Structure 1
Amino acid sequence: MKSSRLAYLFYKLKVPGFSDHLPIMVLAMAVGVLAGFGAVLFRWIIKVMQSIFYPQSVEGGITENLDWAWNMIGHEAPGIMEFYDKVPWYFIVMMPAIGGLIVGVMIYFGAREAKGHGVPEVMESVALRGGVIKTRVGFIKTIASAITIGSGGSAGQEGPIVQIGASIGSTIGQWFRVSQVQQRTLVGCGAAAGIAATFNAPIAGVIFAMEVILGDFGVASFSPIVVSSVLATAISRMVFGDSPAFSVPVYEMVSYWELGIYPVLGIICGLLAVGFVVVLYKSEDFFEQQVKLPEYIKPMLGAALTGLLILEWPQVFAVGYESLTEVFHNQMHVEMILALIAVKILATTLTIGSGGSGGVFAPSLFIGAMIGGAFGYMVNYMFPGITASPGAYALVATGAMVAGTTFAPITAILIIFELSGDYKIILPLMTACIISVIVASTIKKGSVYTTKLLRRGIDIADGVEQNIMRGFKVKNFMSKTMNTIMFDAPIGEVIKAFETKQASYLYLVDNDSHLVGYISYRDVRRILDEENVVPLLLAEDIAIDNELVSVSPSENIHDARTKMNQLGVTELPVVSDSDNRILLGKLKDTHVLDAYDKAVLRMEIKST
């Protein structure tokens, strides 16, 4: 097995107490520091991009000197409402469109993995490639997402930061030639560091990495991820201070009767979470299939349409955390809150679905806050004496919406708990988040992240080996030797064929050699066990109850195995891709096992 460079260095230095766990801890510290500074840098680039696209947002302009750029370190960019009146209306449409064009060109010619919200690509690298991510992806994702958000695109910064942190972890792992297990751990370290530095929430960062990215709560991964998350949070606090990503009110629960109301909020969030995910991917399909433009032009169209929405509802500009603050503190009218639920979903799906670069975590928080705010006003009206302010319901709904979209309830609970710092929110938050996940997962199989992978034929729940098997084609494992018999052959001839050919299955063909059915040895035994065997029984009479299911050479082994299991058979006919009547060969369960063995061997080779 190959030794990592760092392990060899420790060996040469003869460090007392050296163990295999020490090098990965050192690398995790490096990932945490670099990802922490990467998150700070990314947020600063977003502010710089916003200032370039909207110079009206900078007091005194940006042409005098570059002090404005330096002064933005450690400070948040001004919200759109602070400079909206200073910007010509056509800027609001033109700037996102220009940003979309730049991003489209960067992604198309630079790194296709930087398209979209980023987290699914990290999950795919962990599941199929052992955590290997191209180094250039992190750089292009940083610039592309900063331009998307800075120009006004409705997207979040958390997804890109996760991909940037994961890219840093992957690059360090590749450079030091760590094992595949350690490589995946370092990717998790980078993802945890990104979330922790963004939200000032180290615990949520750890759980996000283990619950969403790795899908593993093993002790071996836990310690390095904790170290990375803590260091990234420390760097973030050093630059931005010890304050949450947005202003959160003190939570209050007026009556324990409210615990019967929060489940309703969880159901609503679960339903709308499914709606958001469905609309997002419908938007992707629309731009991919219906919009007949070059791929690098499509983000410009989506961004321009988003700009038209911003003209009427500027609250959906970019990340939109200032609007969350308004809802939490009961400073927004219910009519506007209701409108922003639909508008934010539309703006985000236009930005991301058209090919822009940005996350969906922050939009989920935004939509959840609006749902909770509107729900809070409603229950206040219906039960004025026993319900808290709308802001309290908005705060709980942010977690419930994130839980419903990501299928990560522990992450959602902890991130809102760390943002609020109030233990009293735990009971309603746990209730709403868990119910939201139950509702969403019952209606729809995939989360906002895994749906993207499922559409590519990758099911994370199946495990690494099964996903590798999806890359194996039937044509590489099938046998072209098959046993056929005419469909009108008498039963005596069928029995003789089974005896002489030592076959488990006979495939029935017609006069044109077209496949019309099959007979298994069990079918014949069943006929022979009957008391009155009809002498004139034909092959097609025996096969009449057998459902003819076949596979084609271009299908993958995983899908073929699924068909075998559903039918309870050990062999399937292989037919032509162009004509399912033309028999080409057969695929046996032993062929599937051979593919599985190769998948396991491939995984073991990568892990060494």
Structure 2
Amino acid sequence: MKTERLKQPIFRIRGRRSLYFYCILTGIVSGLGAFLFSRILAFSEYLLLDRAAGLSLPHPSGEFLIESQDVLHWGIPFSDEYRPWLVFLLPVLGGLLTGWIVNRFSPESGGTGSDAMIDSFHNQEGRMNPVVSLVKSVATIFTLSSGGSGGKEGPISQIGAGFGSLLATFLKAGARARRTLLLAGTAGGLGAIFHAPLGGALTSVEMIYREDIESDSLIPCIISSVSAYLVYSSLNGFNTVYKVADTEFSRYTDLIFYFGLGILCFLCGDVFIRIFRKVQSFSGSLKISPIIKPALGGLLVGIIGLFLPETIGTGAGVLQVALDGKDPVGTQGIFSSAYQATGLWLVAIFFILAGMKILTTSFTIGTGGSAGMFGPSLFIGGMLGGGVGTLAKILMYPDLSVTSFILVGMGAFYAGVASAPIAGMIMICEMIGSYTLLPPLMVVSILTFVLSHKISLYRAQKETRFQSPAHFWDMNRDFLEEIQVKTWKDRLRTLAVTRDHILLSELEEEALKIQASDYIVLDQENLYVGILSLRKVRHTLESRYVVGNLITVRDVTDTTAPCGKLDDSLASLLKILIDRDLDKIAIQENGQFLGYLRFADLMKIYFENTFPKISK
């Protein structure tokens, strides 16, 4: 009597439609995570920077803002008095606390977060530890609310990416689907927090390559990003991040200054990356506890904050002030402006703010602090655009819109340092709710991108998809499509084959002898049952002692693992192996098991036929 086979799980990715459904679910969780994170961060910033330090930093129009009357019942004892000593001390204390949290619970949670996601996509089959997302969120809240310079998009995108990866693991999805859900989660976080559903999707598929996009994941990322945007906006309001009134592009002669802005963004982007890498290297070479390193970075941030508090924190509110046509430097800080800056002095202020933001961001994140790089990139580019626009207004056109230059600078600078020109353009347009500036944004972003082709903020980026392990199966796929399994029937193996009735503990002992990890499982009538991967299922010391004589091979066999036929192409087998994370695939004909082909066998066949002279 045949043993009844296990039923297939209900929750499984079986095609595009089911994948799209899980992208919606990922987007919903990403939107909720973005909302919760932004609320906690807003409260922490209000408590430490506004109330404790007495800083009255501005906020963008679309950002959640805590008002004083909303928290009177909390009994917070601080007054509104400005305390410069706390402005200096808070980044140091925040860096110390961040260093302890990161190194105590999750050392990989430090840094930008985007690099970790990109590395996970390329080199770890989309796997991310969900603990990293949680720890990074907490660490970033302490970093930013204490005055550290950075963006909040890093942890928010990691919350979505971590959930997408976790969901794929729960569904036992293959590497390809897991990578897609990873990017979908990233898109959801970005689309929600920046109120930019299309921009979030494009950023997630573009930032992982320098000269390519992950086009296979674009639709899933759009689905997730839109879902997250709708959830977040329903709770936070359907408004844009920045409110902008004066934007125009009406004179072709303005392009002269826009070209100059593009070159300046490239030069400053190169300086930014060099300084950031130098700080990282210097911090890594220090023979002190990694817990202390972010505090040392916070020391320099605190010093700069005494003079220019506009360069600490996210800086998003300062951009809103500049977009409103006002002096970006407020009335606080040791060298505060007691009057409205005008003329060349205003140009100098814009450039000084950009330079100081480069330093504060480099010393916050480069020493081990936790925050994103997208926000600071927008700030730096916006200040460069403000400086160039103000200069153009002084020299040639009194009616010129400086706001337009600020916005173009924001998109162009990120396009250069992140090698993401399309994402930079669309993201800025959606953040202001207008596509009026798309022509100059396209021109300047592409110019900066072309000039910056040798630099990148993210070390884990690959040049194109064909350099990524995620697309090894794409290599010369036409050649593999033309070869059928029956052509290489003599390569079929039968060594790593077991029976479904033997004990798992016995199979583990046998595996040590032949050094096999995946086994083809047959029943007592030599019919194919499935595949057992000892990389995923094996006894612990405790389980071997307790149930070692109870668990059989069939109990832990993946009965959904497909098998191949003699008429199948090698390309189809390779895709199954990669998608299902298998080492080998069974071949049968008319219900009869013939043998199996390994991943290494397919690679060897490919190599022998593609490079015959070398292989001989």
Query: Which TM-score band (shorter chain)?
Result: 0.5 to 0.7
d(CA) in 2 for partners of 1:416, 1:467: 30
Checking the alignment, whether the CA contact within 8 Å between 2:53 and 2:84 is kept in structure 1 is: no
Q: Does 1:298 find its partner at 2:287? A: no
User: Which whole-Å deviations, capped at 9, do the CAs of 1:430-467 have from their partners, x for residues lacking one?
Assistant: 001000111111xxx24101xx337xxx8776623499
Could you say which structure has the higher helix fraction?
1
SS of corresponding position for 2:126: coil
Residue number in structure 2 paired with 1:363: 376
Letter in 2 for 1:419: M
Q: Does 1:131 find its partner at 2:126? A: yes
Residue number in structure 2 paired with 1:453: 460
d(CA) in 2 for partners of 1:7, 1:28: 22
Residue number in structure 1 paired with 2:236: 240
Checking the alignment, whether the CA contact within 8 Å between 2:162 and 2:182 is kept in structure 1 is: yes
Choose from 90, 97, 110 the match for 2:85: 90
- State, as a whole percentage, how many aligned pairs show the same letter: 29
Residue number in structure 2 paired with 1:578: none
Checking the alignment, whether the CA contact within 8 Å between 1:138 and 1:167 is kept in structure 2 is: yes
Checking the alignment, whether the CA contact within 8 Å between 1:97 and 1:303 is kept in structure 2 is: yes
d(CA) in 1 for partners of 2:378, 2:67: 20
Checking the alignment, whether the CA contact within 8 Å between 2:209 and 2:419 is kept in structure 1 is: no
d(CA) in 1 for partners of 2:466, 2:358: 31
Letter in 1 for 2:356: V
The aligned runs of 1:420-431 (5 Å cut-off) are 420-431=432-443
Checking the alignment, whether the CA contact within 8 Å between 2:417 and 2:452 is kept in structure 1 is: yes
In the TM superposition, residue 74 of structure 1 has moved relative to its aligned partner by 7.7
Checking the alignment, whether the CA contact within 8 Å between 2:91 and 2:299 is kept in structure 1 is: yes
SS of corresponding position for 2:436: helix
Q: Does 1:338 find its partner at 2:342? A: no
Letter in 1 for 2:378: L
The aligned runs of 1:511-530 (5 Å cut-off) are none
Letter in 2 for 1:76: L
SS of corresponding position for 1:256: coil
Residue number in structure 1 paired with 2:184: 189
Task: Identify which range, 261-270 or 248-257, moves more after superposition.
Answer: 248-257
Letter in 1 for 2:95: G
Checking the alignment, whether the CA contact within 8 Å between 1:253 and 1:388 is kept in structure 2 is: no
Residue number in structure 2 paired with 1:379: 392
Distance 1:418 1:465, change over 3 A: closer
d(CA) in 2 for partners of 1:198, 1:107: 23
Q: Does 1:282 find its partner at 2:284? A: no
In the TM superposition, residue 345 of structure 1 has moved relative to its aligned partner by 0.6
In the TM superposition, residue 76 of structure 1 has moved relative to its aligned partner by 2.5
Residue number in structure 1 paired with 2:499: none
Letter in 1 for 2:326: Q
d(CA) in 2 for partners of 1:315, 1:348: 12
Paired residues in the alignment total 442
In the TM superposition, residue 402 of structure 1 has moved relative to its aligned partner by 0.8
Checking the alignment, whether the CA contact within 8 Å between 1:103 and 1:356 is kept in structure 2 is: yes
Distance 1:370 1:84, change over 3 A: farther
Distance 1:327 1:461, change over 3 A: same
Choose from 557, 581, 590 the match for 1:606: 581
SS of corresponding position for 1:131: coil
Letter in 2 for 1:309: I
Choose from 64, 68, 75 the match for 2:64: 75
d(CA) in 2 for partners of 1:270, 1:604: 39
Residue number in structure 1 paired with 2:106: 111
Checking the alignment, whether the CA contact within 8 Å between 1:250 and 1:420 is kept in structure 2 is: no
Q: Does 1:350 find its partner at 2:353? A: no
Checking the alignment, whether the CA contact within 8 Å between 1:54 and 1:87 is kept in structure 2 is: no
User: Which whole-Å deviations, capped at 9, do the CAs of 1:347-381 have from their partners, x for residues lacking one?
Assistant: 11110111000011110100111101110111112
Choose from 314, 319, 330 the match for 1:319: 314
Letter in 1 for 2:457: V
Letter in 2 for 1:75: F
Choose from 249, 253, 256 the match for 1:257: 253
User: Which whole-Å deviations, capped at 9, do the CAs of 1:575-602 have from their partners, x for residues lacking one?
Assistant: xxxxxxxxxxxxxxxxxxxxxxxx9999
Letter in 1 for 2:374: F
Q: Does 1:221 find its partner at 2:196? A: no
Unaligned runs of 5+ in 1: 12-17, 60-72, 469-598
Residue number in structure 1 paired with 2:142: 147
Checking the alignment, whether the CA contact within 8 Å between 2:294 and 2:368 is kept in structure 1 is: yes
d(CA) in 2 for partners of 1:298, 1:6: 53
In the TM superposition, residue 405 of structure 1 has moved relative to its aligned partner by 0.9
User: Which whole-Å deviations, capped at 9, do the CAs of 1:17-43 have from their partners, x for residues lacking one?
Assistant: x96222212211111000111111111
Task: Identify which range, 335-344 or 110-119, moves more after superposition.
Answer: 335-344
In the TM superposition, residue 394 of structure 1 has moved relative to its aligned partner by 0.9
Choose from 98, 101, 105 the match for 2:96: 101
Letter in 1 for 2:394: Y
d(CA) in 2 for partners of 1:218, 1:322: 33
d(CA) in 2 for partners of 1:175, 1:204: 29
User: Which whole-Å deviations, capped at 9, do the CAs of 1:42-91 have from their partners, x for residues lacking one?
Assistant: 111212322443471699xxxxxxxxxxxxx9822579xxx996242221
Checking the alignment, whether the CA contact within 8 Å between 1:396 and 1:429 is kept in structure 2 is: yes
Unaligned runs of 5+ in 2: 1-5, 55-61, 69-77, 328-340, 473-573, 584-616
Residue number in structure 1 paired with 2:205: 210
Residue number in structure 2 paired with 1:432: 444
Distance 1:251 1:110, change over 3 A: same
Checking the alignment, whether the CA contact within 8 Å between 2:425 and 2:442 is kept in structure 1 is: yes
TM-score (norm 1): 0.68
In the TM superposition, residue 420 of structure 1 has moved relative to its aligned partner by 2.5
d(CA) in 1 for partners of 2:229, 2:358: 30
Checking the alignment, whether the CA contact within 8 Å between 2:31 and 2:228 is kept in structure 1 is: yes
Checking the alignment, whether the CA contact within 8 Å between 2:265 and 2:384 is kept in structure 1 is: yes
d(CA) in 2 for partners of 1:461, 1:172: 24
SS of corresponding position for 1:9: coil
d(CA) in 1 for partners of 2:241, 2:8: 38
Choose from 404, 415, 440 the match for 1:403: 415
In the TM superposition, residue 6 of structure 1 has moved relative to its aligned partner by 12
Residue number in structure 1 paired with 2:589: none
Once superposed, what is the RMSD of the aligned Cα atoms? 3.0
Checking the alignment, whether the CA contact within 8 Å between 2:27 and 2:226 is kept in structure 1 is: yes
d(CA) in 2 for partners of 1:370, 1:107: 32
d(CA) in 2 for partners of 1:339, 1:322: 17
In the TM superposition, residue 316 of structure 1 has moved relative to its aligned partner by 1.2
Checking the alignment, whether the CA contact within 8 Å between 1:154 and 1:351 is kept in structure 2 is: yes
In the TM superposition, residue 210 of structure 1 has moved relative to its aligned partner by 1.3
d(CA) in 2 for partners of 1:84, 1:259: 49
Residue number in structure 2 paired with 1:515: none
Checking the alignment, whether the CA contact within 8 Å between 1:184 and 1:214 is kept in structure 2 is: no
